[in-house]
Amino acid sequence: MTENVSMPKNIPDTAQAVARLVDGVLVGDGTAAITGVASVEEARPGDLVFAESARYLELALRSRATAILAPLEAGQLGLAAKPLILVAAPRLAFVKTLEAFAPPLEITPGIDPTAQIGQNADFGPDVHLGAHVSVGANVTLGRGVILLPGARVGDDCAIGDDTILHPNVVLYPRVRIGRRCLLHAGCVLGADGFGYVPVGTALRKVPQLGVVEVGDDVEIGANTCIDRAKTGATVIGSGTKIDNLVHVGHNVTIGFSTIIIAQTGIAGSVTIGNGVILAGQAGVKDHVTIGDGARVGAQGGVISDVPAGVTVSGYPARPHRDKMREHAATAALPEYLKRIRDLERRLADLEAKSGQ
């Protein structure tokens, strides 16, 4: 059994090959050799770079890059000093190009001799268990599941086809993971929700009897923690992407294709809709609802419901446009205070003259 990282096959090696890969229009020399992908600032001869705007296109043309991936309107330049690959959706085309150059993680199916497997575990074909992996009793692993070294899967868990657990991922008992999910190193799913009842001067723990359910095509970042429900389930919808160092509390429900960025904290019993974005270090109070397509700005503090499609920011989180007006007014306060003091002095002078 081996784990090996190798370069992908069929890498596009010319500007013309890249154009075919991304369904782009080639302007210039199609035989120009492409050996890698880079940023404009770091590009060397042989590199393909991405220029989404006119500003970056100008920089890319002056860079050492061999070819440029650019939007269709860049074709108005005519022939340029470098080959241009023109596409309708430059970001998507750049992702496709990165995928082509990315070295795949090639894992040979098999079970390392140091892996521990509980009773009645049921494995699909082509499963890989790395060194010191621990799998509890009554666990179900689908086809092609990969558990990298040190991963721990508790009793009665189920993991869908083609899901990957990176080193030291921990699934507490009864966690259910869908297909094609990617869990990064050190994330923990199914730890107890945070619940206590004051009894005199002591705190009595509330038992957490529920589970965590994760849909298909979900990615969960390193050292992210998703707590099990008190009763029922904490639910992460299919297609949702969660960054590193995120906390999801007990009984939270997150919809489809939502993005949650690093250091966000979500308290218990929150409902988050589909296509929501929570920016970095956002905080969400317990028992609130965030509607479909809503956006919460970086460090936004949500303490009440956010309607669908609304962008909020600040603390407490309010509609972003209103918050920007407040910031502008706050920035102008020193000038307003100066004017008020000037008016007070002038008023005092007028009153003194009137009294005389």
Q: Catalytic residues, which ones? A: 250
Alpha helices in the chain (DSSP H): 15-21, 54-62, 90-101, 320-331, 333-355
CA distance 96 to 188: 31
CA distance 136 to 64: 54
Cβ-count burial 55-89 (b if 16+ within 10 Å, e if not): ebbebbbebebbbbbbbeebeeeeebebbbbbbee
CA distance 325 to 102: 44
Give whole-number Cα distances, 218 to 208, 236, 260, in Å.
Answer: 24, 8, 12
Beta strand pairing call for 182-183 and 176-177: unpaired
- For residue 108, what are its two tokens? 């040979």
